[in-house]
Amino acid sequence: MTTAELPKRNFIIITGLSGSGMSSATNAFEDLGYFCVDNLPIALLPQFAKLLLPKEDESPSLEKVALVIDIRERHFLSDFDKELEKLVKKGLRPYVLFFEASDEVLMRRFSETRRPHPFDKGEGLEKAIKEERIAMGKVRQKADQIIDTSDYTVHTLRKYLTDSFRQEKRKFLIEIVSFGHKHGLPSRLDLLFDVRHLPNPYFIPELKNLPGNDPEVVRFFNSQPEVQETIEKFLTLIEYLLPKYEKENKSYLTIGIGCTGGRHRSVRVAEAISETLKSKGYDVIVFHRDISREKPI
């Protein structure tokens, strides 16, 4: 096997903004059988790359490697471009994953964990986050894939990565996100459908506090012709578009389904669309962003 023949995503560099989910990503890649190293000194990057190459009649020392290199490594910002170029010249082209999140989410995560921000020079968390984002701009430009984790939990991010990077790579992965408009739009949507026109179980006392995937709520929606008609029309458009996205070699498609609070209508429509697409052979994951919020509207 020559260097040019290395599987494209057997050599992954995980980088990004502090607090954006790189540790969770490392756990996901360990589950997928990658040899993972956190906070690797950038000077050792070429050595790990070489371990992926076979030696004459022998198998390579490592089959899959995922390396976390970020701003904690003091030479990272100054040497990243240079070391990446050295690898590329040798035919060792890593797949660079860049993780980020909104300033608001990053501030909340650091506040909850009470961890110090590695870029904090004593001028406060907010300034540290903003300065790191600016400093990491050139690294971000080198990324093969940018993942905004603002709307992910630890568990949904892990599932997304394991579904996306399995060795028996799925040809096309569809993620359906239900959400409430009152809580803001998800940050990573390719298609967006609004279902606020549908009958709302919130106004039925016995259904108000139940989520949209509860059997009682599902029965309510199934009794409403307008709901089924909406789902069918959405599916007609989605099934028309999916082959076209695949033809463009798109590996991921994220579909947003929004209602007011994100607990009833959007949840049910997302589940129904997912069930139909799965029955037709598509790989689908569903994420209900706002289903657990305490005060639906």
Find, among 16, 22, 3, 31, the residue nearest to 165 by Cα.
31
In the chain, residues under CATH classification 3.40.50.300 are 3-164
Give the pLDDT score at 62.
Answer: 75
pLDDT in tens, 170-193: 567 899 999 999 999 987 789 999
CATH homologous superfamily for the domain 3-164: P-loop containing nucleotide triphosphate hydrolases (3.40.50.300)
Give the pLDDT score at 7.
Answer: 44
Please give the Cα distance from 46 to 253 (Å, whole number).
Answer: 34
Query: Average pLDDT of the chain?
Result: 86
Please give the Cα distance from 95 to 98 (Å, whole number).
Answer: 10
Q: Three-state DSSP class for 233?
A: helix
Judge whether residue 27 has pLDDT over 60: yes
H/E run at residue 37: strand 35-37
Q: Which of 21-35, 162-176, 180-194 has the lowest mean pLDDT?
A: 162-176
Give the pLDDT score at 1.
Answer: 29
Tell me the pTM: 0.62
More confident residue, 238 or 57: 238
Find, among 66, 40, 37, 38, the residue nearest to 52 by Cα.
66
Find out whether 293 and 183 touch, Cβ atoms under 8 Å: yes
Residue written as token pair 């799925």? 170
Judge whether residue 168 has pLDDT over 60: no
Give the pLDDT score at 112.
Answer: 83
Please give the Cα distance from 148 to 115 (Å, whole number).
Answer: 21
Please give the Cα distance from 72 to 147 (Å, whole number).
Answer: 20
For the chain, what percent of residues have pLDDT higher than 70?
A: 91
pLDDT in tens, 197-209: 999 999 999 999 9
Judge whether residue 108 has pLDDT over 80: yes
Which residues fall within 8 angstroms of residue 202, CB to CB, at 6 or more apart? 208, 261, 263, 264, 296, 297
